[in-house]
Amino acid sequence: MSFWEYANPKKFMETSSWLLPWVAIGSLLCLVVGLIWGFFFTPDDFRQGSTVKIIYLHVPSALMAINAWLMMLVCSLIWIVRRHHVSALAARAAAPIGVTMTLIALATGALWGQPMWGTYWAWDPRLTSFLILFLFYLGYIALWEAIENSDTAADLTSVLCLVGSVFALLSRYAVNFWNQGLHQGASLSLDKEENVADVFYFPLLVCIAGFVLLFVALVLIRTRTEIRARRISALRARQRLNDTSPSATPKEA
């Protein structure tokens, strides 16, 4: 069986219909367990106090904000190279979820920044590149809405996605590129020395799993909706064509 079979809308609808409930249940379980564990059963940090509890929302949402755009990038490349409609529709479906994740990361970052840095906002490299990523998300959604022809919209938004990927990667690595600003380095690392302490690390992993599964569940729901909306447009176009074709006009007696 080939991966490209899922580019067939019928196959995608079949597979996603049985996959969706499992992903949704997994997401709900991980989010409930991870957030309750993190909020109620982890200690305060010796420096940051109780604000460390914001990590269970801030890190997973920031991670998904960047990865949602990277998923859109892969889908856009598939659209550009292979012209599979499902991939273009999946990219379109992911954008509102990505913008929500970016907004959560920006809001929780600001609320965390105020007590720790003394300000809600600073023109720090990571914060600024994240704000630009947020604006790219808005532009991407607006471009899809502005163009009536779905193939043209998919072409143009794919190009926008390629350009925006620079900022998605920049927001991930800004701390490494410019060793300045308020934002600290990555909270998660393969190097155990750089990682957050185990007591915060495990509930954080559960929350990240919850956010990843939530993203997948929402992408599946929204892609299914986009496929259905596309079918409505196709049926209406066919209906219009039938109405205006000569065979549709009644014969005179």
Binding-site ranges for another protein (CB under 8 A): 35, 39-40, 44, 49-51, 53-54, 57-58, 61, 96-97, 100, 103-104, 107-108, 111-112, 114-115, 214, 218, 221-222, 224-225, 228-229, 231-232, 235-236, 238-239, 242, 248
Nearer to another protein (CB atom), residue 160 or residue 218: 218
Q: How far is the CB of 230 from another protein (least distance, A)?
A: 10
**∠ at Cα 84 (158, 73), nearest 5°?**
30
Torsion of Cα atoms, 209 then 215 then 216 then 218, to 10°: 140
Q: Is the dihedral of CA 203, 21, 98, 4 positive or negative?
A: positive
Q: How far is the CB of 127 from another protein (least distance, A)?
A: 16
Closest CA to 57 of 236, 203, 251: 203
Question: Closer to another protein at the Cβ: 170 or 217?
Answer: 217
- For residue 104, the minimal CB distance to another protein (Å) is 5
Q: How far is the CB of 204 from another protein (least distance, A)?
A: 14
Q: Between 26 and 96, whose beta carbon lies closer to another protein?
A: 96
Q: Give long-range contacts, CB 8 A cutoff, 24+ apart: 192-198.
A: 196/55
CB contact at 8 A, 188 and 195: yes
Distance of closest approach, residue 214 Cβ to another protein, in angstroms: 7
- Residue 15 vs 100, nearer CB to another protein: 100
DSSP 8-state symbol, 45: B
Nearer to another protein, 133 or 170 (CB): 133
